[in-house]
Amino acid sequence: MAEDDGLLGRVKRKLVDSKEKWAREGRLLTALGGKGARTRLPPGQRPVKNWPVLDLGVQPDIDLERWELVVDGLVENKLSWNWADWRNLPHTRMVTDIHCVTAWSRYDNRWDGVPARHILDLTRPLPEAKHILFHGLDGYTTNLPLAAFADPDVIFADGWEGEPITPHHGGPVRVVVPQRYFWKSAKWICRLEFLAEDKPGFWEVRGYHNAGDPWREERYG
């Protein structure tokens, strides 16, 4: 039954291939690297239904007439948008989870905004750009490697659940970086800086982990 053997062989091959793929991804392991490995809740987190407000206690007063977002540093195309220009950029909707280092996670947040990928397309970082630094209007900063910034789920959000993001949560525009603890998600974003060298931000120089991957539980240090 050469033909049957061939079929069986093909089926087995498929099974082996998918198991091998699982092994590469670390599937069914808990909270060890690789997307396939992920249970939804990172280690040490608990889900909440509300959305806590956390910041430095200084919520800037923002006038949309004067609002501006600047992209500078190591890019071919330095750009800035005022509010009207920003609203005219193509917007995308994404649903992602929040994981805060203070151990709460909030599932299924519906964001509207401009994906980081689109900002990369428009500004074109130079080859030597390897890191980025977000600047908030309150003076807050937080850093990411360019590769993490380029994740397809990173968004400059101006809407949450179909409504404008409130000033408390960083409106008119805040960053959301779902694959990192939430301190990497700068509120009141006013500047995106591309850098050759890493430049740790506000919490990163105060004992928080430089990378902040919740799946690796990179909280402090």
Ligand X SMILES: Nc1nc2c(c(=O)[nH]1)N[C@H]1C(S)=C(S)[C@@H](COP(=O)(O)O)O[C@H]1N2
Among 83, 86, 111, 140, binds ligand X (CB under 6 A): 140
Instruction: Report d(CA 27, CA 200) in Å as an integer.
Output: 32
Helix (H) or strand (E) holding 100: none
Nearest distance from C-beta of residue 45 to Mo ion, angstroms: 13
Instruction: Report d(CA 91, CA 3) in Å as an integer.
Output: 53
Nearest distance from C-beta of residue 34 to ligand X, angstroms: 25
Q: With CB cut-offs between 5 and 8 Å by kind, which of Mo ion, ligand X, none does residue 38 bind?
A: none
* 140 strand-pairing partners: none
Tokens 């779902």 -> residue? 178
The dihedral through the CA atoms of 181, 211, 91, 61 has a sign that is positive
Q: With CB cut-offs between 5 and 8 Å by kind, which of Mo ion, ligand X, none does residue 53 bind?
A: ligand X
Of residues 75 and 101, the one with the C-beta less far from ligand X? 101
Q: With CB cut-offs between 5 and 8 Å by kind, which of ligand X, Mo ion, none does residue 83 bind?
A: none
Cβ–Cβ under 8 Å, residues 100 and 54:
yes
Q: With CB cut-offs between 5 and 8 Å by kind, which of ligand X, Mo ion, none does residue 34 bind?
A: none
Classify each residue of 2-34 as buried b or exposed e, where b means 16 or more C-beta atoms within 10 Å of its C-beta.
eeeeeeeeeeeeeeeeeeeeeeebbeeeebeee
Residues 60-99, mask of contacts with ligand X (x by CB under 6 A)? ----------------------------------------
Instruction: Report d(CA 94, CA 77) in Å as an integer.
Output: 26
Of residues 5 and 46, the one with the C-beta less far from ligand X? 46
Residues that bind Mo ion (CB under 5 A): 54, 183
182 binds ligand X (CB under 6 A): yes
Nearest distance from C-beta of residue 190 to ligand X, angstroms: 9
* Interacting residue ranges for ligand X, rule: CB under 6 A: 51-56, 100, 136, 138, 140, 169-170, 182-183, 185-188
